[in-house]
A and B are shown apart, each in its own frame.
Chain A
Amino acid sequence: MRSFTYERARTPAEAAASAMRKPDAKFIAGGTNLLDLMKLEIETPAHLIDVNGLALDKIEPTQEGGLRIGALVRNTDLAADTRVRRDYGVLSRALLAGASGQLRNMATTAGNLLQRTRCPYFYDTNQSCNKRKPGSGCAAIGGFSRQHAVVGASEACIATHPSDMAVAMRALDATVETVRPDGPTRTIPIAEFYRLPGDTPHIETTLMPGELITAVTLPKPVGGKQIYRKVRDRASYAFALVSVAAIVQRDGTGRVALGGVAHKPWRVEAAEAQMPNGAKAVAERLFADARPTRQNAFKLALAERTLGAVLAEAKG
């Protein structure tokens, strides 16, 4: 690990301002992804701003009838919160499907949103990777691409976003609250939070440099059957090949977002409109622009079948 200087921030504004003063700075909360990447020298911050002391660890009701989740709420606590279990079951389920008990105890809500891809070419510093080293190429294209994106990818990057939680947040239409380094706060709808890779895959979100996430807000509960189905190579403690977060109402309408298929949680409103017509109709629209590789084309069939299983479970 490269050496770095360290500070403990006392307020969100102070943390963001400090990040602006030191352009090579990173915030550290749970550290479960950042330290892994720092040990491998994929991330090499010159300065770490420890945000664990900021009082952002509460889950509070909002005036609109939703929930405001502090950026530092640990994944375990969010999954176990009685209001989340009762009203936002898809979020509890997605969190519990991710990582291990030990990691969920450390990992935070904001950190989970910002975790980096687990593409093996991103992790191997001997390989070219436009996300790790812009302009160096993409070794995953033409390499082993079984785990990679089938839709929304580019000539520069075919990595997927690894989060389960973010897929549920996308289905729930969550909002990301931030404080900018120059002072003002803003809210970003989760639909506008993640970027597709395009030719700048190293820029993954619409956050500006130094901008700090302070909370994630959930709108008023929408009811329905809430299901998170994750398909992976092991029964536990593995990233998704395909995952489906669904909210299905009694009349068969609803929302659906997919993980494991794109550079961000994948949700297409035209596809949702087809939910009463079954999985095939939904999948056709979700993957209308899909460009799978020979090795990951199976994800299209897997996603359709997983959708089918989820819609059947919602009816039952």
Chain B
Amino acid sequence: MKSRSDFELSRRKLLAGSAASIALTAAPSIVSAQVPAVEAAVADVSAVWKVSFTVNGAARGLTLDPRTTLLDALREHLHLTGTKKGCDHGQCGACTVIVGGRRINSCMTLAVMHEGERITTVEGLGTPENMHPMQAAFVKDDGYQCGYCTPGQICSAVAVLDEIKAGIPSHVSADLNAPPQLSNSELRERMSGNICRCGAYSNIAEAISEVAGRPA
């Protein structure tokens, strides 16, 4: 695996490119007058940004165009392709990862917004030889067909059980002030941000229930 991404931008390249495009649009008669202003503007611009965070227990440092989403940083720069890009608009949940113990849509956040944070992707939960109980349950219960949404489903499911344990209520919790139940309707409501185009929902709910220690 390459340690340095083909997509990584160098600050010099990007600045050279933008300076050239500004020079081209300036009228010849004012080019000389414009040059110092252009240099001053460029010096103030953070065209690339350094960010460091922990991914699956390992410290990682990247230099990124600030537009890079956390999802693209994981997939294109760190080559952790377990996390999937589905809709890229926070609607499908295929990109779900766990940041600081909370599940989020990695497509709807910039990598530079996560300086110093702990990120767990599906690769960090377990390996084919040593699966996380949730991964093992998805395999046993057929919690997928095509598998594209599965890494997001599994990261989400692991975090859902933690949320229930932490007493975070949901839309279907009957009593806001009582500990939430591990019922099928609770799991379905909490997993509604993970869409499965194949419709493997009942087996997904079964797998999660099994890990939670209660049949669906």
Contacts and interface: CB of A to CB of B under 8 A. Distances in A.
Instruction: Answer yes or no: are A and B bound together in one complex.
Output: yes
A275 B88 CA distance: 44
Interface residues of B, number: 44
| Most chain A beta-carbon contacts within 10 A, residue among B66, B93, B171 | B171
Contacts of B47: 3, 5
Nearest to B106: A102
B109 A31 contact: yes
A31 B71 CA distance: 14
B104 A106 contact: yes
Interface stretch (A78-86, A253-261, A262-270): A78-86
Given A92-B176, A102-B105, A28 B88 contact: no
B108 interface: yes
A79 B169 CA distance: 8
Nearest to A236: B192
Contact of B193 (A48, A92, A102): A102
B65 interface: yes
Given A85-B169, A101-B163, A102-B96, A6 B112 contact: yes
A31 B45 CA distance: 21
Contacts of B69: 35
Contact of A4 (B44, B67, B163): B67
Contacts of A76: 102, 163, 168
A101 B66 CA distance: 26
B153 to A, nearest CB: 12
A252 to B, nearest CB: 23
Contacts of A173: none
Contacts of A89: 176
B169 A28 contact: no
Contacts of A48: 66, 110
Interface string B175-192: 011000000000011111
A106 B45 contact: no
Closest 9 CB pairs of A and B: A100-B193, A236-B192, A6-B66, A237-B192, A105-B102, A85-B176, A96-B171, A80-B168, A102-B105
